């Protein structure tokens, strides 16, 4: 059986935590930041985990991830 290929775009965007959860950064922090409140921008700085519904999809894209 040949090696499975890693989905490179996904690999660049997510990391696995020690417990096996998938960590990602939030969107909407690139441009048009004048209109966003500092509170909202501060919340966007913190990383979050991938939603349970998407976890299996992401894990399929990263066969050697965890």
3 lies in some domain = no
How many domains does the chain divide into? Answer: 1
CATH code of the domain in which 14 resides: 4.10.410.60
How would you write the pLDDT of the chain (66 residues) with one tens digit per residue? 999 999 999 999 999 999 999 999 999 999 999 999 999 999 999 999 999 999 999 999 999 987
**Does this model's pTM top 0.75?**
yes
pLDDT at position 10 = 97
13 lies in some domain = yes
pLDDT at position 66 = 72
Q: Which domain holds residue 57?
A: 8-61
44 lies in some domain = yes
Interatomic CA distance for residues 32 and 6, integer angstroms: 33
Q: In what order do the strands lie in the sheet with 22-24?
A: 14-16, 22-24, 48-49
2 lies in some domain = no
């Amino acid at each position: 059986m040949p090696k499975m290929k890693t989905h490179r775009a996904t690999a660049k965007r997510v990391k696995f935590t020690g417990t096996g959860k998938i960590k990602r950064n939030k969107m909407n922090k690139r441009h048009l930041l004048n209109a966003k409140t500092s509170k909202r921008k501060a919340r966007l700085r913190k990383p979050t985990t991938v939603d349970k519904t998407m976890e299996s999809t992401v894990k399929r894209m990263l066969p050697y991830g965890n």
